[in-house]
Structure 1
Amino acid sequence: MGTTTAAADTSSSLPISSYRDIAVDAAHQQVFLSDPFGGSVLVTDYTGQVVKRFSGEAGAWGLALSSDSRTLYVALRDAGAIAAIDTATLEETARYDTGTGAGVYAGPTSLALAGGKIWFGYSTDTWHGALGALDLSGAEPVVTRGQGLDTFRSSPRLAATPQHPDTLVAAESDGNAATLAVYDVSTGQADTQAKRVDPGPDGCESLQDLALTPDARQVVVACAAAHYHQVFRTADLADDGIYTTSWSPDAVAIAPDGTIAAGVYGPSRPDVQLFTQGNSTAFASWDFPSPSDYADTTVETAGLAWAPDGSRVFAVTETSGSSALTLQVLNHPQVATTVTVQAPASSPRNQDLTLTGKLEAPVGFGAGSTVDIWRLDDPLAGEGTLIGSAPVAADGTFGYTDRPRAKGDVQYTVQYYGDARHAYAYGTATVDITSD
């Protein structure tokens, strides 16, 4: 199936000149962006229109949204703290001292929710990084630090997934050869499960971003010195595939259904591509227009995020030679879908006849998907009768049992009406209905 190239559906200029992280709040249809050098957190709606800008958020770096979308946590590197923002009232409700100290080689940067805690990466000094955790489950907040020591040379970047909350992945991001580590945090401590230095067939220098698949079996990384996005198995961090992008990968985000959005920096094209998990060839892509022959619009490091329902991708871009930032809203394109139907060549009338089939598309089918079944007793006349519907399983399969009464050729048509991500499709099968 070929690649579909599209333009951004919405493009909005942002009133900030620095950027580090993005979080999407589906409950209130809001997008949060950190502005570290402006000391603020920007809030927009799903079209990129500004809702609010928080000031007084010194060194706002990494963001993490609670599982119920009620609270946004912000790593404040230059304050040595983690702030909590109510996503409904858009007010800061708490601030927790991490005890790390504040500033470039001290304060917290990346955040991830795992094991019932808020994990953060921070620097212990100029040449070392570590992991810490903020536990809010008790009467008083509890901070632990000093985990993952002697692994990272700077504040590590973190990744987790809500479907498997006991797995935490951390990666070196100081510009040298990356160190990648997987931890089990179910006990409240970061217990190392796997660790690898300079991973990948061509190494991994200057790691820019990483994301964990929903099943927590793979981690996808964007390393600036590579020509593709790399995939590693979390069990042992062995090489586990690539996604064919181009020089130089700098962003990756994974939807709840496993669809990978991959972004690159610089004049390479395309800027953003979509992949199904395990398929190295993209099925959709976007190119962002450049304002002139001397300037290019490119994806920011860690500048991609999915809406939790998978309906769109948000991309933060910058125009080269300026500090102008833009929020691009990329509606997920409908992908081509096929329906295959299997039925017996003949079947006695007034007896059960079972149809089976499968929907196939580059993107998986969500819970609640159905197909309609139509029966035409005379294939030469009319459009037939709607006789029922059938649920579609996660792998696209479906089944339906009918009891036809008319003799002769009966045509069954299975219709799938599509959704925001899948195009309409249908398939047919003809059965010779014989005497009882």
Structure 2
Amino acid sequence: MLTTGRCPRRRKATYNVRTRQFIERAALSAALSLSLLGLGTSAAAADTSAPLPISSYRDMAVDAVHQRVFLSDPFGDSVVVTDYTGQVVKQISGADGAWGFALSGDSRTLYVALRDAGAIAAIDTVTLQETARYDTGTGAGAYAGPTSLALAGGKIWFGYSLDTWRGALGSLDLSGAQPVVTRNQALDTFRGSPRLAATAQAPNTLVATESDGNTAAVAVYDVGNGQADTQARRVDPGPDGCESLQDVALTPDGQQVVVACAAARYHQALRTADLADNGTYTTSGSPTAVAIDPAGTIAAGVYGPSSPDVHLFAQGNPTAYTAWDFPEPSDYADTTLVSGGLAWAPDGSRVFAVTETSGSSSLTLKVLNHPRVDTTVTVQAPASSPRNQDLTLTGKLEAPVGFGAGNTVDIWRIDDPMAGEGTLIGSASVAADGTFEYTDQPKAKGDVQYTVQYHGDTRHESAYGSVTVHVTSD
């Protein structure tokens, strides 16, 4: 027999079956109450909302190691640093036309595209001081300097403008004794400085997009050999085309590109291999931002005062499992998400959103806590198994949002369910898709119950599942 439900967080060497049965009934009652009230997966209100000392914005990077958020201020020539509650830690000046960011894999260095200096700056994330500046050789200014950065193929890639009508890709290689800049890649593809996206799990894949205000172009490159080798290219992608592209993101597995095109009423998904249509994420309003966390959860932001501003989706599911609607300060003012104004904390615990209020010249950083969603554990095992022989349990954690890597479940065994004592016999690693496996050698004959316990995390409620196996003689 299979059961599922929530479980207590406290771990013990043994537990009593009567206690467990009471917990099961209480958990089921609580779950039903939440379901009837419609509160099972409701989003928490924004924990914090802090004003920013800037009136321009282009990009955001989140440093999980030091719990810092970096925001670019291109027209104020600065980089603003906040903590995880949105409180300003420092405003770094002298960043001429600070536009796009790329954070090193070890979170030690933030690279900043300085459009108005024609350079890329390196900022130490501990001291918050600029430690180096690399000339890109592109020239400086609105139709020359670098604007977007991405780490791929062991290099820092940047998008820049050749002139008023053309854009290109360049790369900065810091692996040798001297920095090496390579320019003029992907020529005749973009009509302006391209926006870039990459993911650590697909290190040789680089996505570049551009929009001239009408139709957008999207391209995918293999940069593993040091050059941008075109794998796929498409103009005006999506079922209804893509006008005025606002943002782009690549899923962690590198299999899907998600774009926010202002003219649509959904976020479009494209298959990375060939940029064919690969589904949509239904939103209400004009798409203006997209960000994807390491577990594949998609945050899709829209511009529209009469609809939810930020929606969350499990990868591949077109329906949002929760959403936030920003409160309006008055009947005469609207609070809206800015273009490209979303970023995840790498652990998926919260979403950072940059907003603006009509009639105000300043911006605000909102911190949105991810709701703890209901989770289930299913467990499978043979109906019977010989004593002192390998018995393999398999199962899966399931929830509206992915689990990522690094999770474990505890395995309890009750050799005699009627006696009331259970023993913690081990733990099993959970794969990114939620599956797990554990092998035991039961000693006692008769019915043996196995209970798998997940203790929850910042995004998932605790849960358990059980299965009973009849153990026979050797």
Distance 1:236 1:63 in 2: 27
Q: C-alpha displacement at 1:420, in angstroms?
A: 1.4
SS in 1 for 2:285: coil
RMSD (Å), alpha carbons? 2.1
Comparing 125-134 and 407-416, the one that deviates more: 407-416
Specify the alignment match of 2:460 in structure 1.
422
Alignment of 1:314-333 (within 5 A): 314-333=352-371
Alignment of 1:27-426 (within 5 A): 27-382=65-420, 384-426=422-464
Distance 1:119 1:435, change over 3 A: closer
Q: C-alpha displacement at 1:290, in angstroms?
A: 1.2
Q: Deviations over 1:54-73 (max 9, x none)?
A: 11112111111122211111
Q: C-alpha displacement at 1:252, in angstroms?
A: 0.8
Comparing 146-155 and 199-208, the one that deviates more: 146-155
Q: Deviations over 1:184-211 (max 9, x none)?
A: 2223222222111111110100000001
Distance 1:418 1:71 in 2: 32
Question: Whose helix fraction is larger, Structure 1's or Structure 2's?
Answer: 2
Q: Which has the higher contact order (CA 8 A, sep 6+)?
A: 2
Specify the alignment match of 1:11 in structure 2.
49
Distance 2:264 2:321 in 1: 21
SS in 2 for 1:4: coil
Q: C-alpha displacement at 1:380, in angstroms?
A: 4.2
Are 1:220 and 1:230, in contact at CA under 8 Å, matched by a contact in 2? yes
One-letter amino acid of the counterpart of residue 438, structure 2: Y
Specify the alignment match of 2:27 in structure 1.
none
Are 2:408 and 2:430, in contact at CA under 8 Å, matched by a contact in 1? yes
Q: Deviations over 1:194-244 (max 9, x none)?
A: 111111110100000001112222211000111100011122111111111
Are 1:374 and 1:386, in contact at CA under 8 Å, matched by a contact in 2? yes
Distance 1:404 1:151, change over 3 A: closer
Distance 1:415 1:52, change over 3 A: same
Are 1:265 and 1:298, in contact at CA under 8 Å, matched by a contact in 2? yes
Distance 1:357 1:321, change over 3 A: same
Distance 1:353 1:78, change over 3 A: closer
One-letter amino acid of the counterpart of residue 130, structure 1: A
Distance 1:430 1:24, change over 3 A: same
Distance 1:17 1:428 in 2: 55
Distance 1:432 1:141, change over 3 A: closer
Comparing 424-433 and 69-78, the one that deviates more: 424-433
Distance 2:59 2:470 in 1: 60
Distance 2:41 2:454 in 1: 22
Identical counterparts, % of pairs: 82
Distance 1:251 1:432 in 2: 54
SS in 2 for 1:78: helix
Q: C-alpha displacement at 1:3, in angstroms?
A: 5.8
Are 1:3 and 1:282, in contact at CA under 8 Å, matched by a contact in 2? no
Q: Deviations over 1:347-368 (max 9, x none)?
A: 4555544333222122333434
Q: C-alpha displacement at 1:408, in angstroms?
A: 4.1
**If the length of structure 2 is used for normalisation, what is the TM-score?**
0.86
Distance 1:282 1:72 in 2: 32
Distance 2:312 2:468 in 1: 37
Distance 1:37 1:410, change over 3 A: same
Q: C-alpha displacement at 1:393, in angstroms?
A: 2.8
Distance 2:295 2:245 in 1: 25
Are 1:300 and 1:318, in contact at CA under 8 Å, matched by a contact in 2? yes
Once superposed, which parts of structure 1, at least 4 consecutive aligned residues long, lie more than 6 Å away? Answer: none
Distance 1:150 1:353 in 2: 61
Distance 2:186 2:119 in 1: 20
One-letter amino acid of the counterpart of residue 191, structure 1: D
Distance 1:340 1:82 in 2: 50
Are 2:41 and 2:371, in contact at CA under 8 Å, matched by a contact in 1? no
Q: Deviations over 1:286-317 (max 9, x none)?
A: 22211112222221111111122222221111
Comparing 353-362 and 107-116, the one that deviates more: 353-362
Are 2:122 and 2:130, in contact at CA under 8 Å, matched by a contact in 1? yes
Distance 2:212 2:322 in 1: 31
One-letter amino acid of the counterpart of residue 95, structure 1: R
Distance 1:121 1:370 in 2: 41
Distance 1:435 1:97, change over 3 A: closer
Q: C-alpha displacement at 1:374, in angstroms?
A: 2.4
Distance 2:235 2:127 in 1: 43
Are 1:5 and 1:287, in contact at CA under 8 Å, matched by a contact in 2? no
Distance 1:138 1:212 in 2: 28
Q: C-alpha displacement at 1:343, in angstroms?
A: 2.9
Task: Return 5+ residue gaps in structure 2 as ranges.
Answer: 1-34
Q: Deviations over 1:362-414 (max 9, x none)?
A: 23334342222223344345353333333323332233344444454433322
Specify the alignment match of 2:18 in structure 1.
none
Are 1:339 and 1:358, in contact at CA under 8 Å, matched by a contact in 2? yes
